[in-house]
Amino acid sequence: MLTALKLLQSKNHDVEMSLRGVLRGFGLKVGPTTPRTRELVAGHTTLSTVAEALVALRSTLFEQWQKMEKRLRSLAREDSRARLLMTAPGVGTIVALTYASAIDDPGRFRSSKTVGAHFGLTPKKYQSGETDITGRISKIGDGGVRTALYEAANVILTRPVKGSTLKSWGMRLAARAGMRKAKVALARKLAVVLHRMLTDGTGFVADKAAAAVTR
């Protein structure tokens, strides 16, 4: 269902971009609303035909996307693991279900610290002789989980989150290394914290999160 949701979201975006591209070719710029599209193509027979087809397709995709998301929200309310994960800041329905389904059994990881590497959120290392280079993150493993954790980190760092140790740590890192690197690092820390929550069966506790970010 998560894969289907992502597909619907992606295709909805593709259709919207295609519609904008078609209209742009005729010097027409469409805003965010469908009625605006119909106004722009009024009187253009061919453009009206194309626009109506794409608008109808986009409407259908969006409707199904919303239905799928609603169903997933319902599943999250019924899933004890998802409810547990959603006690953490920045973690909503989709992030919780994506992470829980990918982890499956928390016991298959010997340590919470290894989860970040499992999902490709740790920097690549190149060592040879006196050379020791730290590169970008490896991006191995499940890209969907990596994206979900990055989005959760983005929420924590860019939206009001009261009393969050994770936000404080991330903002300090952002001041030194930049916001993008801070989001990646926070996503990695969040992976560790969420795994520990699943392992212990306890909700988000700021003190435990503080211990995780200082390691």
Q: Which two tokens stand for residue 213?
A: 């970010």
DSSP count for the chain of H helices, then E strands: 10, 2
Instruction: Reply yes or no on whether the pLDDT at 134 is more than 50.
Output: no
Q: Which two tokens stand for residue 43?
A: 């009187």
pTM here? 0.78
Nearest to 195 by CA among 180, 182, 208: 208
| Strand-pair category, 123-128 with 131-137 | antiparallel
Digit-coded pLDDT (tens) for 174-210? 999 999 999 999 999 999 999 999 999 999 887 666 5
